[in-house]
């Protein structure tokens, strides 16, 4: 794994987090408890800060970045960022699933209890309503989230990744 400071800012990673052997975390990154950064994921806090709450999983190949002196990245609790997703200079609130291969651009706000579908592109300045599912290119609201999706997907995935990371802590 690559964990290194940039411009005097060191990543803050609690001991109960999992960082895969080939993940990269650099610069002004603050992680909450029970987070996991998976294989080939990059969390690059070199140009602005990145803050994560508790139980955030950044799955394989995902990239978290920001925009220089302009747009930091803030991620809440119980957030799953799917394989090969890009989360860039935006705010993601609590209990959110960012689907595989999706892109969330600068200055977006993803409100709590929402899903960004796999492959969606959430364009700059989009405000995703709480309790909704956004899909497509550009991403648009396709429906309201059900309680079944909230507990069966968003909460389940966040909890499972805490469990999976335990398998690697050996």
pLDDT at 170 (0 to 100): 63
Give me the mean pLDDT over the 5-25 stretch.
97
Asked if 50 contacts 67 with a C-beta cutoff of 8 angstroms, the reply is no
φ, ψ of residue 132 to 5 degrees: the values are -125, 165
pLDDT at 7: 95
pLDDT score of 153: 86
CB 20 within 8 A of CB 2: no
Percentage with pLDDT > 70 across the chain: 99
Say how far residue 20 (Cα) sits from the centre of its chain.
Answer: 16
For 4, what's the count of Cα atoms within 13 Å in the CB-facing half-sphere? 7
User: What is the tally of structural domains in the chain?
Assistant: 1
The mean per-residue pLDDT over the stretch 13-22 comes to 96
CA-CA distance, 46 to 65, in Å (whole number)? 8
Averaged pLDDT for residues 55-66: 98
Could you list the residue range(s) of the whole structural domain that residue 57 is in? 2-168
The answer, yes or no, to whether residue 147 has pLDDT greater than 90, is no
pLDDT at 67 over 80: yes
Confidence of residue 167 (pLDDT cuts 50, 70, 90): very high
What is the spatial distance between Cα 131 and Cα 146, in angstroms, rounded to a whole number? 8
Q: What is the pLDDT of residue 169?
A: 78
Q: Which of 125, 118, 76, 79 is nearest to 101 (CA)?
A: 118
Global pTM reads 0.95
Residue 40 has pLDDT above 70, yes or no: yes
Q: From CA 19, how far away is CA 42, in angstroms rounded?
A: 11
Q: Per residue in 95-143, pLDDT tens?
A: 999 999 999 999 999 999 999 999 999 999 999 999 999 999 999 999 9
The chain-wide mean pLDDT, for the chain, equals 96
| SS3 state at 164 | helix
The more confident residue out of 151 and 39 is 39
Tokens of 167: 């398998």
CATH of the domain at 48: 2.160.10.10
Mean pLDDT of 19-35: 97
């Amino acid at each position: 794994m690559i964990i290194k400071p940039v411009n005097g800012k060191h990543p803050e990673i609690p001991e109960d987090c999992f960082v895969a052997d080939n993940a990269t975390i650099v610069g002004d990154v603050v992680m909450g408890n029970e987070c996991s950064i998976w294989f080939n994921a990059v969390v690059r806090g070199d140009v602005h800060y990145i803050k994560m709450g508790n139980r955030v999983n950044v799955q394989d190949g995902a990239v978290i970045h920001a925009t220089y002196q302009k747009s930091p990245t803030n991620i809440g609790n119980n957030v799953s960022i799917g394989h090969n997703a890009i989360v860039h200079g935006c705010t993601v609130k609590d209990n959110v699933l960012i689907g595989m291969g999706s892109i969330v651009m600068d200055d977006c706000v993803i409100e709590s209890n929402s899903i960004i579908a796999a492959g969606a592109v959430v364009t700059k300045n989009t405000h995703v309503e709480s309790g909704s599912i956004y899909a497509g290119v550009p991403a648009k609201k396709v429906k309201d989230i059900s309680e079944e999706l909230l507990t069966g997907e968003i909460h389940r995935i966040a909890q499972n990744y805490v469990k999976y990371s335990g398998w690697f802590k050996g």
